[in-house]
Amino acid sequence: MTAPKVVVLGGGPAGDVAALRAAQLGAEVVLVERRDLGGTCLNRGCVPSKALLAISALANKIQRADEFGLVVQGLSFDFPKMQARKDQIVLKMRSGVEAACKRHQIKVVREQGHLEQGAVVAGDAAYPYDHLVVCVGTEPSGLPGIDMDNPRVITSDGVWTLAEIPKRLLIIGGGVIGCEFASLFAPLGSQVTVVEMLPQLLAGVDRRTAQQFQKLLEGHGVKVYLETKAEELAYRDDSVVATLTGGAVVEAETLLVAVGRSPQTSGIGLQEAGVQVSQRGHVEVDEYLRTADPRIWAAGDCIGGLQLAHLASAEAARAVENALDPVRMRPMDRTVVPNCIFTSPEIATVGLHADLAREAGHEVRIGQARFVGEAKALAEGEPEGYVQLVADAKDDRLLGATIMGPHAVELIHEVGVAISDGFTMAELGDVIHAHPTVSEVVMDAAQQGHGAAPYLS
């Protein structure tokens, strides 16, 4: 029996997984990627940012060394060396992806690909397919009225090639990307200003968490303007000067535009092949990740929704499994998807936060506990933040959680598993957690929701 031919267009966290999963299932696989394997996440997003954020977090701790009884003098920063360390981590991860593709005998084509007459044309060759998986991802969006070609203006892609730490950094956009970079550069000595046109930072989290995070961010010296725009920009040889709504003037060596990302779906023949693309450029798929053409599937950021590498990978695996085993197709379930924000402190959510649960018509039960009462968090010098659990008051089933504080992006998975397994808040509170650990705050929050937390109720 001839192996099915699968072509994957795009080699990011969706495309890489699509190709590897297809090879595991016995397909003959071609992976077309115009840049480096690993896509934005590995090369220009998740991985390099976490490498630099780890350094920034260490710097923040060292700056507070006196609190721990440590004497540290003369802290300084070698930014080129930080960038070099980041590059080494990226290279190691990318080499792992390349090795996996080689191990699974995936043909990797390093060219721009486009659809043409039932094949993907890349370079001088055409690759016909039984199934095509479109995983072309997104790219940073610019803003009308801003000279995006000015050397003082960068997007998130430009951070990785900065030669020095900006003394003054103006960030337009207070979403996840903007807030993560504010958390990155403030401990490195940058005077950071964040300008956001919406009424709160981090629009995807509940208002209480956004407000408390803003206070903590401002405590690190970051200036935040909400419901504000850069009305006028002046470009100088050594700076950009922004006049904001209300008349405030901000001058910065670097202007970082962090207003979201746009799908890379235009000009590659999708619509000509019968694939429907939304007005915003997203590939339209059904619940099985199938496009209007039954041989073409899509996954990851290019289909819209939450732009998360782990969700993209899960979607890609599901798309391939559905394509190669149509008898047992499964819809994509996005009920439990952890959303992690690597700010300082970290913020993580899963399921519905309290505001969304109420909007969905649930009578809500809240369980919450603060890290300030937990010994391990105090010992680590990170007492800020809390765990908030949300359950349906009628049957106590967990609906979601928000965690802001130490190791939040790791702790959230416990609640995700509990939601997936149908736990009630009371059942989560019955799970014995080790002491002292930061994770026991999850248990405390669940018990507090039922008035059973010994120290909180």
Q: Where are the domains of the chain?
A: 5-139+262-328, 153-259, 345-448
Do the domains spanning 5-139+262-328 and 345-448 agree at the CATH topology level? no
pLDDT digits (tens, 9 = 90+) for 253-299: 999 999 999 999 999 999 999 999 999 999 999 999 999 999 999 99
Instruction: Looking at the structure, give the CATH architecture of the domain made up of residues 153-259.
Output: 3-Layer(bba) Sandwich (3.50)
Give Cβ neighbours of residue 333 (< 8 Å, ≥ 6 apart). none
- Those residues of the chain that have pLDDT short of 70 are 1
- Residue from 282, 407, 435, 450 carrying the catalytic annotation: 435
The β-bridge relationship of strands 168-172 and 364-370 is unpaired
Pair 133, 320: CB distance under 8 Å: yes
Report how far residue 264's alpha carbon sits from residue 302's, in angstroms, rounded to the nearest whole number. 7
Our CA dihedral for 97, 100, 106, 108, rounded to 10 degrees, sits at: 20
Which residue in 234, 188, 238 sits closest to 52, CA to CA?
Answer: 188
Which long-range contacts link 395-398 to residues 24+ away (Cβ below 8 Å)? 395/424, 396/365, 396/424, 396/425, 396/426, 397/422, 397/423, 397/424, 398/351, 398/423, 398/424, 398/425, 398/428
Q: What angle do CA 135, 296, 131 make, to 5 degrees?
A: 95
Using only the alpha carbons of the chain, give its radius of gyration. 24
pLDDT value of residue 455: 87
Q: What angle do CA 417, 423, 428 make, to 5 degrees?
A: 85
Q: Rounded distance, CA 453 to CA 340, Å?
A: 27
Q: How far is CA 212 from the centre of its chain?
A: 20
* Beta carbons within 10 angstroms of residue 175's beta carbon: 18
Q: What is the CATH number of domain 345-448?
A: 3.30.390.30
CATH H superfamily, domain 5-139+262-328: FAD/NAD(P)-binding domain (3.50.50.60)
User: Residue 5: what are its φ and ψ, rounded to 5°?
Assistant: -95, 120
Q: Which of helix, strand or coil describes residue 379?
A: helix
Active site residue 310: no
pLDDT score at 457: 77
Laid out side by side, the sheet with 168-172 consists of 153-154, 254-257, 168-172, 191-195, 223-225
pLDDT at 456: 87
